[in-house]
Amino acid sequence: MRFISGLTLFFYTLVFFLLGGLFIIISLNIIPQSSIEEILGTIYATTNIRLILGITGILFIFISLMVIQIAMGKIQREKTIAFENPDGQVTISLTAIEDFIKRSLKQIPEVKELRPNVRATKKGITIINKVILFSDINIPETTEKIQHIVKTRVQDMLGVEEPINIRVHVVKIVHKEEQSKDLKKQEKSPQFRGSIEYSSD
């Protein structure tokens, strides 16, 4: 896979380098217009050259489609975690793991909100947690608690021995009063002040 990726990168670099050089030559008028017309006339008049250009164009399209397929497959693999069971392969969506982490940390009183982002690479699993904490807490202890809970729960759920790196990013610190205000707003329901009209049969 690395060889194909390197070869593809070299190929596209060469193509763009040649195209860039051609555009510069045309813009600076280094090659006279008559010479370009003569070259194009030769190409159109020679069957073998047109055949070579056609095959080259098809090859370019094929390589481009192959690169797109490889890239899409890589993106799809990065969105899931896969492991082998005796009866076959099992894949777990990273979104499912993120939802599981949210539910696992819902009961922690120090955390107002948590938004996990799970990334799976060859080096292991990285979980970046963006959290909103309350102000009347010990941040180092709370973040360590979050890391421990997330790592333990995810390891127990997946049952894999891959290294799990837990990161915590505190994006906001709020007071308890802000939460109580939000709850009061949610509890208030709009009152009906209109009148009900009944239709007479």
Mean pLDDT value of segment 109-132: 88
d(CA 105, CA 15): 51
Asked if residue 198 belongs to a domain, the reply is: no
Q: Could you read off the pLDDT of 53-72 as tens digits, one per residue?
A: 899 889 888 877 877 777 66
One domain, residues 98 and 62: no
Residue 24, beta-bridge partner list: none
Nearest to 47 by CA among 58, 36, 55, 37: 55
Q: 78 falls in which pLDDT band (50, 70, 90)? A: low
One domain, residues 183 and 109: yes
One domain, residues 147 and 97: yes
Q: Is 159 left (phi over 0), alpha (psi -120 to 50) or beta?
A: left
Q: 130 falls in which pLDDT band (50, 70, 90)? A: very high
* Per-residue pLDDT at 187: 56
| Residue 142: domain span | 89-187
Asked if residue 147 belongs to a domain, the reply is: yes
The answer on pLDDT for 192 being more than 60 is no
Asked if residue 114 belongs to a domain, the reply is: yes
Asked if residue 59 belongs to a domain, the reply is: yes
* Per-residue pLDDT at 88: 86
- Number of folded domains in the chain? 2
Stated pTM of the model: 0.51
One domain, residues 21 and 58: yes
Asked if residue 197 belongs to a domain, the reply is: no
One domain, residues 98 and 181: yes
DSSP annotation string for 80-112: EEEEEETTEEEEEEHHHHHHHHHHHTTT-TTEE
CATH classification at residue 165: 3.30.70.1350
Examine the fold and report which residue of 46, 78, 110 is the final residue of a domain before the chain moves on.
78
